[in-house]
Amino acid sequence: MRIGVAAISLIVLLTISLASLDAAPIKARVPIYVPANLPVTGTVCLPSALAAGLKAKLYVDDAFVDEGSADEVGCYKVTIKPLTPGRHELYAEIYKGSIKIAEISAEVIAIEGMITVRPDPLATLRRGETKKVSLFIENKSPVNMSNVRVEIEAPFPIYAERMTRVRNFVVRGSIGDLRVNETREIRMELAIPSNFRPGTYTLKINMTYVVGESTYSAPLGVSVIVSQEGAEVPRTQQATSQTTSPASTVTFQDRSTTSPEFEVQEEPTPAWLFLLIAFVGALVVGLVLWMVTRSH
């Protein structure tokens, strides 16, 4: 499985005697393990107060790759080109002014698929969906990793069990030690907004761990697919569909023309009713006039 690793920070702690000008190169006793076919950046540190400010030239497999000056604690920041799987030699020359005062070398072993993240893709989700998923990180290197920590950044809201939510799109936490061929599960919940653009996205996973006395950092990645299905229809489209839907129109027309409670029939007023009203009116007027005449 392809791992989207952009770089890994390499820290090499080497004891060196800066007083021996013609000493043989000091060989690191522990090999350095790095992912294969990936650019490697890191720091070479010389634990000596005399190393501060000294210059160094770095070579890998006899090819020059970088140079620089040590900081106040004797550390050099270096960049190494991607290495093919197998064994390589890291070699550094330490200078004080123009005089070479020491040499160091270490065996670098580049491993294909050193750290695996699965499954990939992690999940396929629909827009507007919230889904629980499990991410598995496995140590495929020949060394145990301790104090493993991860930071996961997503392009949409993310939650994770036993991890701190730094912000809506970032979670961070410790997953403990990771021995050889051991796997750790990270349970997460992904929430895709209903208006999120469909496509394939990457969850950025920055993993840091300790091997011996060295600390490493591996930016990994796993993909998530967001599909078009399940998208919510905008309210304006919903209103339009309701007014133009043939099924809705037919149902309304059938009910209005066949249901008796919706029918209103108007009948003409009969002629005898007008005659009755006129007769009663005249009777009332005559009675009123008779009562007025008698009173006088």
The Cα–Cα gap between 56 and 217 comes to: 23
179 in the same domain as 132? yes
Nearest to 175 by CA among 207, 201, 199, 127: 207
Percent of the chain with pLDDT over 70: 68
Same domain, 26 and 81: yes
Q: What is the CATH number of the domain that holds 136?
A: 2.60.40.10
Q: Who contacts 140 (Cβ-Cβ below 8 Å, separation ≥6)?
A: 111, 113, 114, 115, 116, 181
**Are 169 and 192 contained in the same domain?**
yes
Q: Do 37 and 51 contact (CB within 8 A), yes or no?
A: no
**What confidence score (pLDDT) does residue 67 get?**
87
- pLDDT band, very low/low/confident/very high, at 44 (cuts 50, 70, 90): low
Provide the CA 40 distance to its chain's centre, in angstroms. 24
Separation of CA 176 from chain center? 22
C-alpha dihedral sign at 105, 218, 174, 145: negative
Q: What is the pLDDT of residue 144?
A: 92
Q: Are residues 45 and 127 in the same domain?
A: no
What domain range is 29 assigned to? Answer: 9-111
Q: Are residues 139 and 199 located together in one domain of the fold?
A: yes
Residue 33's pLDDT is: 83
The verdict on 206 and 119 lying in the same domain is yes
Q: Is the pLDDT of residue 37 over 90?
A: no
Of 19-33, 154-168, 176-190, 209-223, which range is least confident?
Answer: 19-33
Residue 9: pLDDT band with limits 50, 70, 90: very low
Cα angle 50, 52, 56 (rounded to 5 degrees) comes to 105
What is residue 268's predicted lDDT score, i.e. its pLDDT? Answer: 55
- Which alpha helices (DSSP H) does 184-225 contain, by range? none
pTM of the model: 0.62
Q: Which of 103-117, 119-133, 140-154 has the lowest mean pLDDT?
A: 103-117
> Is residue 199 in some structural domain?
yes
pLDDT band for 24, please (50, 70, 90 cuts): low
What is the number of domains present in the chain? 2
What is the structure's pLDDT at 152?
Answer: 97
Same domain? For 133 and 106 the reply is: no
**C-alpha count within 13 angstroms, C-beta hemisphere, residue 17:** 9
User: 31-35, 110-114, 226-230, 254-258: which range is least confident on average?
Assistant: 254-258
Specify whether 62 is located in the same domain as 80: yes
> What is the tens place of the pLDDT at every residue in 76-121?
777 778 899 999 998 888 888 888 888 888 888 999 989 999 999 9
User: What's the chain's average pLDDT?
Assistant: 76
| Interval 26-41 mean pLDDT | 75
* Residue that wins the pLDDT comparison between 194 and 75: 194
